A = this chain, B = another copy of it.
Amino acid sequence: MNLLLLFKDDFINDAGRVRLEGRRFRHVLDVHRPSAGDELRVGLAGGLVGTGRITSIKETSLEMDVNLLNAPPAALPLTLILALPRPKVLRRILLSVTAMGVKHIILINSFRVEKSFWQSPVLQPENIQKQLILGLEQARDTILPEVLLKPFFKPFAEDEIPSLIKDTLPLIADPGANEPCPRDVRQPVTLAIGPEGGFIQYEIDKLISLGFNAIHLGDRILNIETVVPSLISRIF
């Protein structure tokens, strides 16, 4: 945890005094082993980052005086459309792409997505939020990404993609593509990545018919956890 993410409810007065209790209190204790007077790096969810100087540590809570000064790191101008991965992988990817600065994540269905994945508890809002917070704390960011679930491919593609990709460079990762993944793109991007095993041809054709450009990352087939950061890092 490189930053402690605070929420408005954590503040107990208008002068920037924060009280932490419960899980986050114990986590700070375990990870930082802080003493009164120590400064922690903190950020306000949706706001600035700064420091919290610990004023007191009691048995079940601690208080700190928070000073918020700086903007969080810049976001990536990216909308990530990802075929729903298996739950264990999804947890790590949510953390990873949040840390990288992705703010728009759309989890979609695809022919090769196992139906049971849509029933996973990982998709419950509080569990998604937990991974996003871990990602923000990793990267010292404060702006929670938006995560949308689209369990029906065709209506999502036909009804929502056209406005979604407007004014962006829409890319679909496809190992069979002729064009390599572009580098150092200086404009907003919409990036679609299929499931393990890939999008089926119908899905690729549908996205291409809506304006997507098929791009590849070489002749190696990478797993989803590797391909997602690899593509994002190659593009930006």
Contact = CB atoms under 8 A, between A and B. Distances in A.
B140 A100 contact: no
A184 interface: yes
B222 A138 contact: yes
Contacts of A225: 92, 96, 225
Contact of A100 (B95, B99, B183, B222): B222
Interface in A136-187: 138-141, 183-184
Contacts of A230: 100, 229-230, 232-233
A141 to B, nearest CB: 7
Interface size class of A (residues with CB under 8 A): 20 to 34
Interface stretch (A6-14, A52-60, A106-114, A213-221): A213-221
Interface string A112-152: 00000000000000000000000000111100000000000
A220 B220 CA distance: 28
A2 interface: yes
A220 B140 contact: yes
B100 A220 contact: yes
Given A99-B226, A100-B226, A226-B100, A139 B233 contact: no
A92 B220 CA distance: 17
A222 B139 contact: yes
Contacts of A226: 96, 99-100, 229
13 contacts: A73-B218, A73-B220, A74-B219, A92-B225, A99-B226, A100-B220, A100-B222, A100-B230, A138-B223, A140-B220, A140-B221, A217-B233, A225-B225
Interface of A: 2, 73-74, 92, 95-96, 99-101, 138-141, 183-184, 217-223, 225-226, 229-234
